[in-house]
Structure 1
Amino acid sequence: MKLDFSFLPALKISSNEPQRLFHGRGGLQVGYEFLNLDWLCPVLLVTLYKEQPATWEKALIEALIVAAPSDMGSVVLQRRYQKPAVFETVYGPEVTRFGICEQGLYYQLDFKAGMHSGLFLDMAKARQWVQGHAEKKRVLNLFSYTCAFSVAALAGGADSVVNIDLSRVSLSRGRDSHRLNEHDLSRVTFLGHDIFKSWGKLKRMSPFDLVIIDPPSYQKGSFVLAKDYVRVVKQLTGLLAKHADVLACLNDPDQPPEYLLDLFAENCPNLRFQQRLPNPAAFVDQDEQKSLKVMHFKCIN
């Protein structure tokens, strides 16, 4: 592969907000579909989805160092095609665990706790939506991961938030994020449980005014989209308050928005589709059908 990094001068870091700088996965930059660049101040995160020659990697890092802002502290490289896909600091001080600020809220990131840092940047507008619609609501955050939606909900004035995820490690990071924001943890519940074995418990804690569904597309042993999303939707009626809102997320490029529309129409007809939330501008995709789907439904009784 030729060493052409002509796109680098176009990298614009407008602020210290976490942001996608280069979205190769969107398919609009031919020849670089395997590359994403993220700014997690003071870290520049390089994600490769396909193996490249060592000489190309080295040249890319050198070019990034030249193009990067003066306040960049480190460059971290993740080769997602490897198992495990570890985060490697390739320039500057080693980075493992640190906090970042998005729209005035703080989130705890950790490069040693798994394949993901702890905050999905493509969900930024969804977090803003939750913050703007959570006031005085009881919120249920299904597949909560590191509880970013929970942080947004409490910042937006939610009365309470219930987070449930199979990973207690991820929930612990979520608790840390709440502490970074000096939130009242008495209003937040963290359940390290299998969701599919916890419907009875969740129904006893209901009704909820806002339910967020953000599962992985596939997670061995815990979630398979084709058979498990419908199982979640079928349980919603027993969890929802009158006029409740549901935010349903789908990040499988092989499934169009109609997948969720049909799923809700067939299995929970009292939930009416309201809108598909826009994705951040940096995450533009050559085929929007393949990009992240965040769908808002509302309970019509």
Structure 2
Amino acid sequence: MQADKLPTFFEQLNLQLTEAPNEVRRLFHGRGRRFEGLEQLTCDWVQGQLIVAIFKQVDELFIETLKQGLATLSESDLWQHKQGKSIVVQHRYADGAPSEVVLGELESQPVVHESGLKYQLNIGRNQNFGLFLDMRYGRDWVKENSKHKNVLNLFAYTCGFSVAAIAGGADQVVNVDMSKGSLAKGRENHKLNQHNINQVKFLGYDIFRSWGKIKKMGRYDLIVIDPPSFQKGSFALTKDYKRILRKLPELLAEGGEVIACVNSPQVTSQFLIDGMKEEAPALSFIERLDNPPEFEDTDPEASLKVLRFK
């Protein structure tokens, strides 16, 4: 990346911060490749905290120019108006993705708002802080389309889809994820929103070894599939996704719907469309949900794909 391109970063940052609602929000998405020389840089607004992530090692000039610009921002009227508290630079390319606090004090477990719902994040220790911001419209769709439904949330992570579904009036959500720690955070997210936990199940299992348990709680009116692109020893997207699609006919209720997601730049929407035709031909492709505008990409097929089938 190029230090002489950073004025573009700060121009966009000021513009987006000015317009940002009082919610968690992506402010700069260099990975959409719309800003030459800044392709490995992102910036998120975490309601008072600015989290700048660098995805590829850069030279000292870039770091110093970035920090100087962030210091200037922290002295601006805009920063005061937005009640900015801290600025963190996360080195995502480095082992452990270390975070460097360049202003104020990091609040590592803030509670943030999105579309009227609350989520607790975990900043500074992991590559991901507990809520994928590009999935906002997906969570909104689930919230708007879950009333009185039995919902299955595969690869649930911290249960963002589950929170949205219960908020939208779902009768039950079954969350499945190998990480019991992530599911515990999901339980806390439901509690933050004062949801009835009796309506929510948390299954800390390997999905491929647990179809029997999953089937017992079906059939499902809505199934959400949002896997990682790769998880060592447990999931490889292009190899394992079809194994899930194959199970859909025996899990879905009549008239049921599927939200199938993929977030690998190497895998296109057509992979899911063709895979569904092959493994679950009774399901028809309906639409691809939009991504939030702040995640615009020069190649839409390289960004998050959220596809709806029925």
TM over 0.5: yes
Structure 1 Cα separation of the partners of residues 98 and 185 of structure 2? 18
Judging changes above 3 Å, is the alpha-carbon distance between structure 1 residues 184 and 105 closer, same or farther for their aligned structure 2 residues? same
Letter in 2 for 1:225: L
Residue in structure 2 matching 1:56, options 53, 62, 78: 62
DSSP-derived class of the 1:89 partner? strand
DSSP-derived class of the 1:134 partner? coil
1:1-301 equivalences in 2 (<5 Å): 1-7=2-8, 8-11=10-13, 12-13=16-17, 14=19, 15-67=21-73, 69-70=79-80, 71-111=83-123, 114-298=126-310
The answer to whether the Cα contact below 8 Å between 1:76 and 1:91 also exists between their aligned partners in 2 is yes
Letter in 2 for 1:121: L
The answer to whether the Cα contact below 8 Å between 2:96 and 2:125 also exists between their aligned partners in 1 is no
Question: Shift of residue 112 of structure 1?
Answer: 5.2
The answer to whether the Cα contact below 8 Å between 1:89 and 1:95 also exists between their aligned partners in 2 is no
Structure 2 Cα separation of the partners of residues 113 and 169 of structure 1? 14
Structure 1 Cα separation of the partners of residues 84 and 64 of structure 2? 18
Alignment TM-score, normalising by the size of structure 1? 0.96
**What stretches of structure 1 of length at least 5 have no aligned partner?**
none
**What stretches of structure 2 of length at least 5 have no aligned partner?**
none
Alignment TM-score, normalising by the size of structure 2? 0.93
Judging changes above 3 Å, is the alpha-carbon distance between structure 1 residues 124 and 93 closer, same or farther for their aligned structure 2 residues? same
Structure 2 Cα separation of the partners of residues 54 and 146 of structure 1? 36
DSSP-derived class of the 1:90 partner? strand
The answer to whether the Cα contact below 8 Å between 2:26 and 2:133 also exists between their aligned partners in 1 is yes
Question: Shift of residue 89 of structure 1?
Answer: 2.4
Structure 2 Cα separation of the partners of residues 192 and 112 of structure 1? 25
Question: Shift of residue 17 of structure 1?
Answer: 1.5
The answer to whether the Cα contact below 8 Å between 2:5 and 2:37 also exists between their aligned partners in 1 is no
Structure 2 Cα separation of the partners of residues 58 and 210 of structure 1? 49
Question: Shift of residue 113 of structure 1?
Answer: 5.3
Aligned alpha-carbon RMSD (Å): 1.3
Structure 2 Cα separation of the partners of residues 275 and 158 of structure 1? 22
Structure 1 Cα separation of the partners of residues 3 and 186 of structure 2? 42
Structure 1 Cα separation of the partners of residues 221 and 236 of structure 2? 27
